[in-house]
């Protein structure tokens, strides 16, 4: 393998593996209603989990430093800060999917171009061994990857934590069950956060 091919493969591998890393940096979660200014706006659909464990979906109608008002199923509900455990909103990952697809598509394009067999036309006449071909292949697959990634990202929704009451920790569930067979006995345990 020539020096140019080794460099291109190294760059492609770096791009491919970096695509799996988290692209978007995590935003901080508010611990008071006063910190929600700018994160929640009127008309946004949110999910509020109250201190009784109930989860209510509604649209934000009003927000102050001490209370949140939602329009849920044709009636308004008001929540004081001490009544709310957490607030989440629903998001789509279009941008993140496009970035990951761009990186993976570009890396695969470089790998495909660099590892492809050469044609009778040599490097000098712009054949498959030429840098222009490698760049074109990487660009084409990067564009296709970005489009595919954006499509996948728009189809996937997830709840994004916006507010968590102070001193609230995730609940940990431990499930222990017996395992019995003809030849042995044991215990299976699973932990869920």
Q: Contact, 47 vs 54, CB < 8 A?
A: no
Share of the chain above pLDDT 90, in %: 2
Query: What pLDDT shows up at residue 122?
Result: 46
Task: Give the confidence band of 107 by pLDDT, cuts at 50, 70, 90.
Answer: confident
How many domains does the chain contain in total? 2
Is 88 found in the same domain as 111?
Answer: no
Which CATH number does the domain housing residue 186 bear? 2.30.30.100
Is 39 found in the same domain as 74?
Answer: yes
Whole-number mean pLDDT of the chain?
A: 75
Q: Does the pLDDT at position 185 exceed 80?
A: no
Is 129 found in the same domain as 51?
Answer: no
Q: Does the pLDDT at position 57 exceed 80?
A: yes
In 3-state terms, what secondary structure has residue 158? Answer: strand
Is 87 found in the same domain as 7?
Answer: no
- Residue among 133, 135, 137 nearest 109 (CA): 137
Is 104 found in the same domain as 64?
Answer: no
Is 133 found in the same domain as 57?
Answer: no
Judge if pTM exceeds 0.95: no
- CA-angle at 70, arms to 64 and 73, nearest 5°: 175
Is 167 found in the same domain as 151?
Answer: no
Residue range 20-52, pLDDT digits in tens: 444 333 458 888 888 888 888 888 889 999 888
Least confident of 23-32, 117-126, 155-164, 168-177: 117-126
CA-only gyration radius of the chain, Å = 26
Query: What pLDDT shows up at residue 21?
Result: 40
Query: What pLDDT shows up at residue 12?
Result: 53
Is 165 found in the same domain as 126?
Answer: no
Dig out the tokens for 58 from the structure. Answer: 């509604």
Is 72 found in the same domain as 62?
Answer: yes
Quote the domain boundaries for residue 15: 3-24+93-155
Read off φ and ψ for residue 28, nearest 5 degrees. Answer: -75, 150
Pairing of strands 75-80, 185-192: unpaired
Q: Does the pLDDT at position 168 exceed 80?
A: no
Is 136 found in the same domain as 53?
Answer: no
Dig out the tokens for 122 from the structure. Answer: 């040599």
Other Cβ atoms less than 10 A from the Cβ of 15: the count is 21
Is 62 found in the same domain as 8?
Answer: no
Is 134 found in the same domain as 44?
Answer: no
Query: What pLDDT shows up at residue 183?
Result: 79
């Amino acid at each position: 393998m020539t020096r140019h091919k080794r460099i291109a493969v190294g760059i492609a591998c770096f791009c491919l593996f970096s695509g799996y890393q988290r692209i978007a940096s995590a935003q901080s979660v508010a611990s008071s209603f006063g910190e929600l200014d700018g994160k929640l706006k009127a008309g946004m659909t949110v999910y509020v989990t109250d201190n009784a464990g109930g989860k209510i979906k509604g649209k934000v109608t009003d927000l102050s430093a001490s209370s949140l008002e939602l329009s849920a199923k044709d009636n308004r509900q008001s929540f004081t800060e001490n009544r709310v455990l957490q607030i989440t909103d629903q998001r789509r990952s279009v941008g993140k999917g496009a970035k990951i697809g761009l990186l993976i598509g570009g890396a695969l394009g470089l790998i495909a171009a660099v590892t492809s067999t050469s044609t009778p036309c040599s490097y000098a006449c712009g054949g498959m061994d030429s840098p222009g071909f490698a760049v074109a292949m990487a660009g084409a697959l990067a564009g296709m990857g970005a489009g595919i990634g954006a499509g996948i990202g728009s189809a996937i929704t997830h709840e994004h934590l916006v507010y968590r009451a102070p001193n609230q920790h995730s609940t940990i569930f431990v499930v222990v069950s017996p395992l019995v067979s003809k030849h042995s006995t044991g215990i299976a345990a699973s932990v869920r956060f």
